[in-house]
Every structure is written in structure tokens, then in C-alpha cells.
Structure 1
Amino acid sequence: MYEQASDRPGIRKPSELRSVDDLLEQVRLRPGMWVRRGSLLHLDSMLVGYAIAAGINNSDERFDFWNDGPFSEWLWKRMDTAYPSNLGWAIEIERAAESTGTPPMEMFFSLLDEFRAERDHAQSTPEG
């Protein structure tokens, strides 16, 4: 289903994960193990739980996946949506995936890769 890129780590134990990005890479490798029925709603719930636990533990880790967060803001522009969806990124990606016949989890990771690439490029480009 998903090919492991050479720069991505292999399967790791939860105790070895250090960030939400680490967690998402594990989900990418084995989505059926982590996310019930491949539902992006379940993935969204899992990520919110992750963020809440991180906050309880006083983590200052950046979290991009709130429904009004950086990933959603990027997604609305990417989907050419004039206004943010009240339903959240998970529902909107599932709808888009259904309309194209693409598995939702596959579309999510494709969009996530695009988001990360643009974010990383913007962070590495000196302001002019």
C-alpha cells in the first residue's frame, strides 16, 4: 500500500517515538494497526489525543493538526476553498478521496508530504 522511502525509519516501538512526525511515519507504515478502518476521523482523534497528552506533559512540540492549525490552513488553500471547513481536515480529505476514488489514508499522506515540503522550504528560504 505505502512504500517506505529510504530516508524514513522502519517500524519502531511506541517508546522509541519522539514526535508527532515519528508517530505519523509509523501510521504510514502500518495504517491498519494504528487507525480503525483507515478512517481519517479516527486518525484525527488519535492526533488530538496525542496533542492533549503532550500538553499535559508540558511538551512544547509544534502540533500542526488542530482543525484551525497550520495543516488545515494550508489544506484550505491547497483545495482552493474560500473558507475553512467547520467539519475539519479529516472529513474534507475523506470527501476529496471519495470523489477521486483514492484511499483516504493514501491521500492524507500525499497531502502531508506536500505540506511538509512546502513548510520546510519556507523555513529554509531566507526572507527577502
Structure 2
Amino acid sequence: MTGMAELPKPRPLHELDTVYDFLDDVRLRPSMYVRGSSVLHLQSVLYGYSVACEIHGAPAMRDFEHFGPFSEWLWPRLDMQHSSPQGWAVEIERAAEAAGNPPLDMFFHLLDEFRAERDDTLQDAPR
């Protein structure tokens, strides 16, 4: 099969350094990590990740907290003027259902946009 790009392979957990490395692995094997492709279940996994970081003294992962950077970035993209008391996972699932898209696919699409904009912002920051 020449000419086909090789798909990325999942890495062992001990090789994952950040929550984003973990999410890249979840994207490759969603059914291994997320029951029923539910964004709500993914949010619970990320909460557990955050708790584990706190317990083990690793740098805190705040991006996916209820009112964290991802949710604050998300509201305008979902045409919401204010944050949702339901949280980002519920609102992504609602938006995906309304658009007829799989919720986990929508989450990863939004995550890619969030990361790209964040990377651009970090590159543009004065040094």
C-alpha cells in the first residue's frame, strides 16, 4: 500500500506527558477511554486526570475545568453569550445533536481549533 500515510499509533501511557498527549491517544482509541462516545464521560475522565495531577503534585491541568480556558473559549463558538451552568460537555453534546454530528467528533474538532488559536496566541506573545 504505497502512497498511504501511516496512521499515528497509540503510545503507552507512561510516554504521555500532557493532557493533550492523552487526548491525542483518546482520539485514536475513543472506545477504550470513553464509554458510548459520550463527551460527558470524557469530561469525567479529564476531571479524574486533574485530580490525579493534584494528588501526585504534578502541574495542575486547568484547561478543562468547568470555567476553565476551554469553556470560556467555547461559549462564543456555540453562539452563547454566557457560560453554561451545565458545563462544556453538555453544551457540546447539545450542539452536536442539533447539527446531526457525533458529539465526540465535534469535541475533537473544537479542541483542534482551541489548540491552534492558543498556539498562535503563545507565538505572538512578547518575549
User: TM-score if structure 1 supplies the norm length?
Assistant: 0.89
SS of the residue corresponding to residue 85 of structure 1 reads coil
Alignment of 1:25-64 (within 5 A): 25-64=24-63
Residues 19 and 61 of structure 1 are in contact (CA less than 8 Å); yes or no, is this contact kept in structure 2? no
User: How far 1:63 sits from its partner (Å)?
Assistant: 2.8
Alignment of 1:92-103 (within 5 A): 92-103=91-102
Q: 1:17-41 deviations in whole A, cap 9, x for unaligned?
A: 1110111001000101110000111
For the pair 1:90 / 2:104, whether they are aligned, the reply is no
Equivalence for 2:110: 111
SS of the residue corresponding to residue 26 of structure 2 reads helix
User: How far 1:93 sits from its partner (Å)?
Assistant: 0.2
State the distance in 1 between where 2:68 and 2:53 align. Answer: 16
Residues 74 and 88 of structure 2 are in contact (CA less than 8 Å); yes or no, is this contact kept in structure 1? yes
* Structure 1: stretches of 5+ with no match in the other structure: none
Q: Which has the higher contact order (CA 8 A, sep 6+)?
A: 1
Residues 53 and 61 of structure 2 are in contact (CA less than 8 Å); yes or no, is this contact kept in structure 1? no
User: How far 1:10 sits from its partner (Å)?
Assistant: 2.2
* Structure 2: stretches of 5+ with no match in the other structure: none
Q: 1:92-116 deviations in whole A, cap 9, x for unaligned?
A: 0000000011000000000000000
User: How far 1:9 sits from its partner (Å)?
Assistant: 5.0
Residues 20 and 63 of structure 1 are in contact (CA less than 8 Å); yes or no, is this contact kept in structure 2? no
Q: Spell out structure 1 runs of 4+ moving beyond 2 A.
A: none
